[in-house]
Structure 1
Amino acid sequence: MPKSRASRGILLTSNLPQLQNLIKRDPEGYKEEFLTQYNHYLSLLRLQQVSSISSTNASNSSNVDKSNELFGDLITFISQVAQCYPAETRELPLQFKGLLLGSAEGGQTVKGDLRRTVVKNLVMLRNKEIIDSIELLQILLPLLPQVPSALRGMIRHTILTDIKTSNQKTKNHRLNRVVQSLLFGMVESGMTAQVVGDKGKGKVKEKGGEAMWAVMMVKELWKKGVWNDAKTVSIVALAAFHPNTKVQSAALHFFLGSDNEDENETDSDEEDIREARRGVKKMEHRMEVGKSGRKKDRMLAQMKRETNKKRAKHAAGLNATPNFPALELLHDPQTFGEKLYDNLHKHDKIYSLDHKILIMQLLSRVMGVHKLCVLGFYSYIIKYLTYHQLQVTLILVSLAQSVHELTPPDVLTPVIRKLAQEFVHPGVGAEVIAAGLNAIREVCRRQPWCMEEDLLSDLIDYRKSKDKGVVTASRGLLQLFREVNPGMLKRRERGKAASMGLIGNQVLAYGHSKDAAEGIEGLELLEEHFASLRKEADGDIAMGEEENEDEDGKGWEDWDVESDNESESSGWEDVSSGEEELDISDSDDEEDRKRDREEKRKLRKLKQKSRRANKDEEQSDSEDEKEDGDGEGDEDEEMDDGKSVVSVATTAVSQDTKKLSLLAQQKILTPADFALLNELRLKAAKELAESGGGSGAKRKLAALEASKRHVDGDESERFLTENEILGPRKKAKATWEEKMELVQKGREGREKFGSLKGKKQKGTPSSSTNREKARNKPLMMAVHSNKVMQKKKASLRDKQIKLRAAIDKQKKLKH
């Protein structure tokens, strides 16, 4: 018996998984064995700390590996049974933190497989709820820039999953505050470093690993919809001024909506796509020349799939949409914009052009969204407004996006002159002129007072050009000023609609805004729609009553019983608020309709009286000037008539306003009603544009369609693109991808390319033809054939006949 106990004890100490299983079944019975292993673990832990401090005294590597392996097994064992002995293992998370991040006594961290084991067991403690999410993330977040890529991927996935799970049902504000504070600290850790710039790439290694990973974690959580508050945006806003240009670029791409964290990633992606395409071509060539099989077919298909995935990912990165919610949530956007401009101006010589364009794009979008005035930006951007400047279209887009109605015109006038001098003159190409005119149009659309009359007349003259893009751009500028400020145009250039609209209308000066809107635009359309629905419903009821009367009174049987049953029914009844109204009483509705009809008749009469009074007053002006001697009685009568006209007009306007706002007073408009109102306005604008409403109706229709796209979720419509600056152009040369796409479309629904002559046209299969055999015949055999020998032995007369016949045949083919 003692022998068996001794053998059992040896077995338990050497077989940790078995001891772990027994402890989970009976923790109290095996507490001594656990304490033995735990003491062994503590001794190895102290040995690890001592060896890390005196790491200069290197020992045998095999002994170190064995001790690390045993130490890792003990860590796993203690973590597995920690929930059985909470009092004894309460210091376990702190010990793991010291192993990963370094202890307070100055001990170094563990490396290699032992560090991976500690991380896995730390995550296991979180899954067993021995530690909470805050303790776990406080250890894992600082590890991200220190560990290799394989372990980093696991840590990153763990952090994202834990935060997402904690915020799944309700927002865990305590956890979010702690993690956001940690990320703030990671970004702030390198803010005091010296700015190096990215022109001398690879010369100086900048310290920004912690800040980079903080920005990447914020981007992932924002993309997954876990964090979407202002504090999240403030972390990235702080990173936008980090001394490390890679961190800056990642933060700028977050606001611009792109997934690329570095400008070099775009070039590397294109190079990877080209390499993958060359690999596919090489594989196809090998299969054509050598022997092919199923394995090679599978390899080729796999390579094609990977190439298509890379190409789709690259295209998605290029067509990124702006992160508009993040721009809206910026705290103190004026200070943010001024700091962006100071950063751009201060480090102009050490930043590359791509990085400066990123800052310009973000600054312009912030200025446009929040209507900021950073006046130094326009004097800074003037030096980049040349047609030979690299990426000048992006610079023009940034310029136009930064302008709004509160931008001072005096600051923009030199910019407009510079654009006209550099882009719009006969010494440049048609595409350059079109781009310059489009850029000027977009700037003037946002601030019309920055244009000068002489310059405008010169730019409008380009509508007589022979190039389509230039004509379109010049006409667009002309149409814009016909709408916003026709007074700057010459009389013959204003057009009929602009000339008629100019009478009695004054263009608002800079800084002035229109009066507040009275009522809801297009509300009468919604009222007419409801009235038509009401008429249709009344017609359906009348038709139903006639049909019921024809059925020998069957529909009127037990009508009182049905009404009693309906009155006894309990509960609320769902009524749609989008297109129908509930009729409460017929008598009240009938009275309302009569009252509405009477008001309409009175309003028409008042309007007719006011028109007649105005006409009579205009006709009597000349007569009144001649008849000065009639005295004061006529003047009193004229004053009375004028007062009556004014009172009539005022009454008409007030009743008209009351009529328009009647529906809003009687009914609470729901989101469904507003959606229906937008549809009705869009439909009315389409009908007006199709019936010849002119360019104004078309522009109104385009504005309504753009607002509808924005409401539906397409936020990119709020910002300009390069295509809007370039305008319509001639068909550009197709890229390799576009050519291959056309080729693939042409091959759809068609047999494999090849001639249909010979055996393919025959009903029964056969061998190759004699002509095909002669084509493939060896040369030495063809030289001695009968046909060739007859040509050699032919007489001169026969050769002349054949030559003449060949010439005649060629002439017939030409004609």
Structure 2
Amino acid sequence: MGKSRASRGILLTSNLPQLQNLIKRDPEGYREEFLTQYNHYLSLLRLHQVSSAGATTSSSATDKSNELFGDLITFISQVAQCYPEDTKELPKQLRELLLGGEGGTTVKGDLRRTVVKNLVMLRNKEIIDSIELLQILLPLLPQVPQALRGVIRHTILTDIKTSNVKTKNHRLNRVVQSLLFGMVESGMGAEVVGDKGKGKAKEKGGEAMWAVMMVKELWKKSVWNDAKTVSIVALAAFHPNTKVQSAALHFFLGSENEDEDDSDEEDGGGVRAARKLARNMEHRLEVGKSGKKREKMLTQMKKDANKKGKKKAAGIGHTPNFPALELLHDPQTFGEKLYDNLHKHDKQYSLDHKILIMQLLSRVMGVHKLCVLGFYSYIIKYLTYHQLQVTLILVSLAQSVHDLTPPDVLTPVIRKLAQEFVHPGVGAEVIAAGLNAIREVCRRQPWCMEEDLLSDLIDYRKSKDKGVVTASRGLLQLFREVNPGLLKRRERGKAASMGLIGNQVLAYGHSRDAAEGIEGLELLDEHFANLRKEANGGISDDSDAEMEIDEDDDAGWENWDVESASSGSSGWEDVASDGDEDIVLSDSDDEDDKKKSAKSKGKKKAEKDDEDEDMDDAKSVVSMAPSAATEVSQTTKKLSLLAQQKILTPADFALLNELRLKAAKDLAESGGGSAAKRKLAALEASKRHVADDEADRFLTEAEILGPRKKAKATWEERMESIQKGREGRDKFGSMKGKKKKDAPSSSTNREKARNKPIMMAVHSNKVMQKKKASLRDKQIKLRASIEKQKKLKH
């Protein structure tokens, strides 16, 4: 079909959008025009490669050529799905333009942004897959400017998240994780410069920094949560670039207060950026129009900036990334490498960075119960009260201790704490912090304390400072519970003295015998029996017990997803046998059993005689103590029945806790005594902390500092309090009369007279009249007052 002369004008290069529209409607009819533009695109591509290789052209000509080249790239990408054979080399060409190919040339500026957008469009049209796109975009992150970097970062995160929505895309995840691992590993051989001093050399680690940031974002969005993800950040924790290392440490520590120059400032969410925006808004209100809406916006911006400042001043977050710590591969080696890195580069790292490493090392030691004994000899030099951020160091020390830490290693540390922090030459806050730190260390390993030192420390409970008294009493109460033998007789208390008899403290390395059953399991059995009885109309029927228990098992495991740490397999796996033969289960009719049955007849006869003797002994025991034997048999029957019929689900354990708490309340109300009340208090305390796993609970600075006086409010806090008090009232109005009275009114003259200055009151008309009154007037007033008092009495 021929084209009219009027329609040929729209096929020029300046009308590429119209040509693109026509090609999408009729690809075969406009194939010739497409090939003309495609050849033009190839010629500009070769021209760009030649000019980048060394040819010199004017800047205006280069800008015009780049603009035309970008339009052609967009046009070819838009219609690529119409001519797949002709444009099969397009993704490769765009990749070379961004990353450099055989010619070693890359595009810059707006042309690079155009190429990136067209690559994303090709991915959306499924001309290329996610793996090919991410292999191009990930290496670009440290090379592009900030504006384009945000687009690339958002594209990568969205693509990975979308690919893992329904099911885990293991192939894509493995490829991307390998790329990120390579980005981190590429700079591991560099020399460690450190972050101490202003004249430090410029560090190289942009690729590794962006790899860690991408991993953190995907972990935060719950897209990646497997051991391979943690291994990438674990490798970055030993990167020579201190910024990369700091970002990896913050990932494990769960802190959101990272270096603003690296991540927060780029996203516009840092403290400096927030305060700068607030100042700009305040300036616009001063020089331009102002209104209530803009004033509210300014107030909210200031509040946000103050909150971020407080969060940054608080230091490391108190919610560590506990799942990541659990998924560490070979935590002992990881902890030893952390300590070696800390010890080797002690003079190169700043104090803040060393404290970050101490925090992570201590938490890994506490979670996995590691023994890195050199850490205690290293940290002992920082245990002085004038040391900067000493509370964080004390927190690290306490968190690293556990019940398997050798007491001999901790005894010098306890002595150092006592010598530096607990003596009359320091302030009360220092003494309280030292006592609290000693208490937390001894809570985890009581055998590190010496008897004479403990006696001196608990004498501080007679101090005049509240914080010191609380800390010393806490240490005394701790040893009354864990090891009262170290206390003097008069300091043990009644409960500890009674418990010391026949209940000795276990030595280091020893543990109590394993529990033989689950406490309160009979309550759960009775609850199930009552449910079955109600379902059967009040008649107890155990025939359907097994069926109902199976149904309860299915419901009890709802919303209880446990992902494999390896994340490499899902569901059940078939295990092949050593040979090709199938496993055959033999019955009692097999030949082997027939041969063995003849041999076992003689043994059974002998065993029968022994059983008869045991039964006679048992009957005599039952006759001597029938009630006790009956109780034991009933308990054993309940435990065995429930254990045989049901596997307890998380829902069953939650129900068991509720039943135990209810039984303890009933026992305490019915006069169970102090023991029942203590048991009830313990169960309620465990219920309050059920959401926070004990293993996930780490020490904080507040627990080391102890109770303190309220600190003086900062200027921002005072202004915030003032603004809060001004809400809901006029600009200069008083709320005194409106708050304290039922009916809103102003203050009376009598109330105003109470606050009148004394020099004005003595010269008031009322006072002056009293002074000038005659004797007769005074007598009249006195008699009237006496009469009034008499009437009030009657």
Q: TM-score range by the shorter chain?
A: 0.7 to 0.9
> 5 Å matches for 1:567-578?
none
* CA distance in 1: counterparts of 2:27 and 2:187, whole angstroms: 49
Q: How far is the alpha carbon of 1:803 from its aligned partner?
A: 15
The alignment's C-alpha RMSD in Å is: 4.0
* CA distance in 1: counterparts of 2:665 and 2:654, whole angstroms: 17
* CA distance in 2: counterparts of 1:687 and 1:440, whole angstroms: 39
The equivalent of 1:246 in structure 2 is 243
2:413 to 415, 426, 441: 415
Moved more, 683-692 or 247-256: 683-692
> 5 Å matches for 1:69-80?
69-80=67-78
DSSP-derived class of the 2:424 partner: coil
> 5 Å matches for 1:325-474?
325-474=323-472
> 5 Å matches for 1:531-550?
none
The equivalent of 2:733 in structure 1 is 754
The equivalent of 1:505 in structure 2 is 503
The equivalent of 1:661 in structure 2 is 639
Q: How far is the alpha carbon of 1:651 from its aligned partner?
A: 5.4
**Closer, same or farther in 2 for the Cα pair 1:756/1:383, shift >3 Å?**
closer
**Closer, same or farther in 2 for the Cα pair 1:385/1:669, shift >3 Å?**
same
1:115 matches 2:112: yes
- Residue type matched to 1:24 in 2? K
TM-score (norm 1): 0.74
The equivalent of 1:156 in structure 2 is 153
1:300 matches 2:295: yes
Q: Structure 2 unaligned runs (5+)? A: 540-546, 557-616, 738-761, 773-794
**Closer, same or farther in 2 for the Cα pair 1:297/1:81, shift >3 Å?**
same
**Closer, same or farther in 2 for the Cα pair 1:730/1:25, shift >3 Å?**
same
* CA distance in 1: counterparts of 2:196 and 2:113, whole angstroms: 38
* CA distance in 2: counterparts of 1:254 and 1:169, whole angstroms: 26
Q: How far is the alpha carbon of 1:418 from its aligned partner?
A: 0.6
Alignment check: 8 A CA contact 2:274 2:304 kept: no
Q: How far is the alpha carbon of 1:261 from its aligned partner?
A: 3.2
* CA distance in 2: counterparts of 1:579 and 1:75, whole angstroms: 57
1:678 matches 2:657: yes
The equivalent of 1:779 in structure 2 is none
DSSP-derived class of the 2:691 partner: helix
**Closer, same or farther in 2 for the Cα pair 1:801/1:231, shift >3 Å?**
closer
**Closer, same or farther in 2 for the Cα pair 1:693/1:723, shift >3 Å?**
farther
Alignment check: 8 A CA contact 1:348 1:356 kept: yes
1:309 matches 2:304: yes
DSSP-derived class of the 1:708 partner: coil
Alignment check: 8 A CA contact 2:278 2:301 kept: no
Q: How far is the alpha carbon of 1:309 from its aligned partner?
A: 3.2
* CA distance in 2: counterparts of 1:150 and 1:372, whole angstroms: 45
The equivalent of 1:790 in structure 2 is none
DSSP-derived class of the 1:661 partner: helix
Alignment check: 8 A CA contact 2:183 2:207 kept: yes
The equivalent of 1:321 in structure 2 is 319
- 1:652-683: CA deviations, max 9, x gaps? 89547615625444544332221022234455
Alignment check: 8 A CA contact 1:258 1:322 kept: yes
1:217 to 203, 214, 218: 214
1:234 to 231, 234, 241: 231
Alignment check: 8 A CA contact 1:196 1:244 kept: yes
DSSP-derived class of the 1:259 partner: coil
* CA distance in 1: counterparts of 2:630 and 2:538, whole angstroms: 36
1:192 to 178, 189, 194: 189
- Residue type matched to 1:135 in 2? E
* CA distance in 2: counterparts of 1:801 and 1:13, whole angstroms: 98
Alignment check: 8 A CA contact 1:253 1:259 kept: yes
DSSP-derived class of the 1:526 partner: helix
DSSP-derived class of the 1:203 partner: coil
Alignment check: 8 A CA contact 1:246 1:261 kept: no
The equivalent of 2:612 in structure 1 is none
**Closer, same or farther in 2 for the Cα pair 1:415/1:374, shift >3 Å?**
same
> 5 Å matches for 1:519-598?
519-527=517-525
- 1:583-602: CA deviations, max 9, x gaps? xxxxxxxxxxxxxxxxxxxx
Alignment check: 8 A CA contact 1:578 1:673 kept: no
TM-score (norm 2): 0.76
1:704 matches 2:682: no
Alignment check: 8 A CA contact 1:419 1:436 kept: yes
The equivalent of 1:597 in structure 2 is none
- 1:14-35: CA deviations, max 9, x gaps? 4212221121111112212111
Alignment check: 8 A CA contact 1:258 1:321 kept: yes
Q: How far is the alpha carbon of 1:685 from its aligned partner?
A: 6.3
* CA distance in 2: counterparts of 1:808 and 1:256, whole angstroms: 78
* CA distance in 1: counterparts of 2:254 and 2:4, whole angstroms: 70
Moved more, 441-450 or 674-683: 674-683
- 1:73-122: CA deviations, max 9, x gaps? 111111111111111111111100110000123x2201011111111111
* CA distance in 2: counterparts of 1:403 and 1:800, whole angstroms: 74
Alignment check: 8 A CA contact 1:250 1:260 kept: no
**Closer, same or farther in 2 for the Cα pair 1:736/1:134, shift >3 Å?**
same
Moved more, 517-526 or 453-462: 517-526
Q: How far is the alpha carbon of 1:411 from its aligned partner?
A: 0.5
The equivalent of 1:795 in structure 2 is none
* CA distance in 2: counterparts of 1:804 and 1:572, whole angstroms: 92
- Residue type matched to 1:490 in 2? K
**Closer, same or farther in 2 for the Cα pair 1:648/1:346, shift >3 Å?**
farther
- 1:712-770: CA deviations, max 9, x gaps? xxx89511111111111222223344434544554455555436999xxxxxxxxxxxx
* CA distance in 2: counterparts of 1:800 and 1:259, whole angstroms: 65
* CA distance in 2: counterparts of 1:452 and 1:82, whole angstroms: 80
Alignment check: 8 A CA contact 1:400 1:439 kept: yes
DSSP-derived class of the 1:121 partner: helix
DSSP-derived class of the 1:15 partner: helix
Moved more, 93-102 or 674-683: 674-683
Q: How many equivalent pairs are there?
A: 670
Alignment check: 8 A CA contact 2:11 2:33 kept: no
* CA distance in 2: counterparts of 1:273 and 1:44, whole angstroms: 45
Q: How far is the alpha carbon of 1:686 from its aligned partner?
A: 7.1
- 1:744-798: CA deviations, max 9, x gaps? 554455555436999xxxxxxxxxxxxxxxxxxxxxxxxxxxxxxxxxxxxxxxx
**Closer, same or farther in 2 for the Cα pair 1:432/1:696, shift >3 Å?**
farther
The equivalent of 1:86 in structure 2 is 84
The equivalent of 1:734 in structure 2 is 713
* CA distance in 2: counterparts of 1:646 and 1:412, whole angstroms: 56
Bigger radius of gyration among the two: 1
* CA distance in 2: counterparts of 1:188 and 1:370, whole angstroms: 26
- 1:39-75: CA deviations, max 9, x gaps? 1111111110111111xx4211111111111111111
**Closer, same or farther in 2 for the Cα pair 1:679/1:574, shift >3 Å?**
same
Alignment check: 8 A CA contact 2:402 2:444 kept: yes
* CA distance in 2: counterparts of 1:717 and 1:685, whole angstroms: 27
* CA distance in 2: counterparts of 1:440 and 1:90, whole angstroms: 70
- 1:617-659: CA deviations, max 9, x gaps? xxxxxxxxxxxxxxxxxxxxxxx9xx96999699589547615
Alignment check: 8 A CA contact 1:689 1:701 kept: no
- Residue type matched to 2:133 in 1? L
Alignment check: 8 A CA contact 2:661 2:684 kept: no
> 5 Å matches for 1:638-649?
none
Q: How far is the alpha carbon of 1:707 from its aligned partner?
A: 4.0
DSSP-derived class of the 2:371 partner: coil
- 1:370-414: CA deviations, max 9, x gaps? 111000000000011111111111111111111111111110000
The equivalent of 1:125 in structure 2 is 122
Alignment check: 8 A CA contact 1:186 1:214 kept: yes
**Closer, same or farther in 2 for the Cα pair 1:417/1:495, shift >3 Å?**
same
The equivalent of 1:17 in structure 2 is 17
* CA distance in 2: counterparts of 1:400 and 1:353, whole angstroms: 19
Query: How much identity, in percent, do the aligned residues show?
Result: 77
**Closer, same or farther in 2 for the Cα pair 1:481/1:98, shift >3 Å?**
same
Q: Structure 1 unaligned runs (5+)? A: 543-570, 581-639, 759-798, 810-815
